[in-house]
Amino acid sequence: MRPMMKPHLLTPPRALAGGFALIIAIGTLLLSLPVAVNGNGLPFIDALFTAVSATCVTGLTVVDTASQFSYFGKIVLLALMQIGGLGFMTTATWFAIAFNRRISLRDQLILKESMNQSNMEGLVRLAGKVFLFSAVIELCGTIGFALRWAAEMPLGQAVWHGFFHAVSIFNNGGFELFGGFTDYAEDPFINLVTIVLVIFGSLGFIVLSELIEYPKTRSLSLHSKVVLTASGILIGAGAIVLAVFEFTNARTLGTLDWEGKLLAPLFQSVGLRSAGINTLPIAELRSATQFFMILMMFVGAAPGSTGGGIKITTFVVLLAALVAMTRGREDVVLFRRRIDRGDIYRAIAVTMLSVFVVIVATLILTAVQHENFLMLLFEAASAFGTVGYSMGLTPKLSLAGKIVVIVLMFTGRVGLITFALALQPKPRKELFRYPEGKITIG
C-alpha cells in the first residue's frame, strides 16, 4: 500500500476518495469487456454508471442486470458491491492480516477515516470482525434464499440467486435478478430474510460488534444506543406512514391481502435505510408517499454501515440540538450524555452541504431531463442516499443526467465532508483569532 504521491499530500480523505475512484475505474474496465455482457458491448458511460452504482452500493441501473450481464459481469458486480459495502480500506486491511503484512500508521489513519472512527484503538481487530460478521450473515442469507427458491428453480440456480441477493442486500447494493421483488410482496419468508439482511447492513459494524458482545459486557456505547433507538423509530414510523398513505391505493397495497398489507409497508420502510429492494411499484405510489420516501432516503443509515445519506446519528443530533435550543438549554444531551459542540457543528455542516448538493443536482436534472419535478428530486435523493429506489427515470437519463447521478452516488458513499477535505489544499494553522461579534438570529 505504497502511496502514489508525496506522503504529506496523501491525506486520509484523499486516500479514501482515491481508493473508491480506483475500484470504480477497475470495475468500469471489467464491465466494458465483451465477456462481461450478453450480446452487444456496453457503452462506456453505462459501464461507468453501473460500476459507480455497484461500488457505491446504490442499485440504480441503466440496463437490466439479469439479461444484460453474463455470469462474469455479475461476479464483477458482486465483487464491487462487497468491496464498496465493506470499504476498500477494510478489504485491504483484511488481506494484509491474511498475508501477515504489517499495517502502517498511515494505513490505520485511512482505515479510521473509512470506518468513521474517532480514534485508532482496536481498528485492526474491528476490521477482522467486519469480515467475519459479513461472511456469517451473507452465508445465512444465501442458505435462506436458496431454500425458498429451490422450490421454484433448480438447486444450483437457487444457490446462485441466493448468494447474489444475500451479498447485494446485506451490502445495501440494490442489484437484483428478478426485475423487482414485487412478486414476493406477500411472501413472509422472503420478506423476513430480506428485512433482517438490510437491518444488519444498515446498523453498522460497530453496533453489530457491541450487540454480539453485549451478553459479556452488558453495556452499549452512546453511538449504539442512538443508532438502535433511532433506527427502530424511523422504521416503525415509516411503515405506519406508508400503510396509511397507500392503504386505499388500488395500484399498490390495494391489490394485496391483509398479510401483504402488513408486510409491504414494513419492507419498504426498511428498504429506505439504503437497501433499494422494493416489493411495491415505486412509480405507482402516491405523490405524498414518494415525497415522504425522499425525506427518509435523505436521512439514510448509520455511520460505518453499508448505507448512505446524512446518517441517522447526524439526524438525531440535529433534532436534539433543536429541542435543547427551544427549551433554552445550553447543552445537547442524549441518554444522559452531553454531545460535544464539535459534533453538533459537524452535523450542521453535513446536513447543509447535503441539502445544497441535492438541490443543485435536482436543478441540473431539471434542466437536462424533461420529466416531472418530483421524479427528478426522488432520483437525486435516492442517488445521494445510495438507496437505489427509482420512479423509472434511471433508464431514461441523458448523458448529462447520468454524470450528475454518478457524482451524487460517489459523494453520497464517500461522504461529503471526506470528499470536501479530499479536494481542498492542505489547511494552514491560523495564527490569530478575530474578535467576537454579535448578530441577530431569527
Mean pLDDT, residues 113-123:
56
The confidence band for 91, taking pLDDT boundaries of 50, 70 and 90, is low
Which residues, including other chains, have CB under 8 Å from residue 274's CB and lie 6 or more apart?
57, 172, 198, 201, 202, 297, 300, 301, 305, 306, 307, 308, 309, 385, 386, 387, 388
Q: What is the pLDDT of residue 121?
A: 57
Q: What is the pLDDT of residue 359?
A: 95
The confidence band for 56, taking pLDDT boundaries of 50, 70 and 90, is confident
Q: For residue 280, what is its C-alpha cell?
A: 411495491
What is the percent of the chain where pLDDT is above 90? 45
pLDDT in tens, 374-390: 999 999 999 999 898 99
Residue 54 has pLDDT above 80, yes or no: yes
Average pLDDT, rounded, for the chain: 84
CA distance 144 to 379: 31
Mean pLDDT, residues 110-118:
55
Q: Which of 14-18, 277-281, 419-423 comes out lowest in average pLDDT?
A: 419-423
CA distance 118 to 316: 18
Q: What is the pLDDT of residue 414?
A: 78
Angle between helices 44-55 and 12-31 (to 10 degrees): 130
Name the DSSP class of 308: -
Mean pLDDT, residues 253-279:
88
Q: Which residue has the higher pLDDT, 421 or 135?
A: 135
Helix (H) / strand (E) element for 338: namely strand 337-338
Ramachandran region, residue 311 (left: φ > 0; alpha: ψ -120 to 50; beta: rest): left
Helix (H, G, I), strand (E, B) or coil at 441: coil
The confidence band for 9, taking pLDDT boundaries of 50, 70 and 90, is low
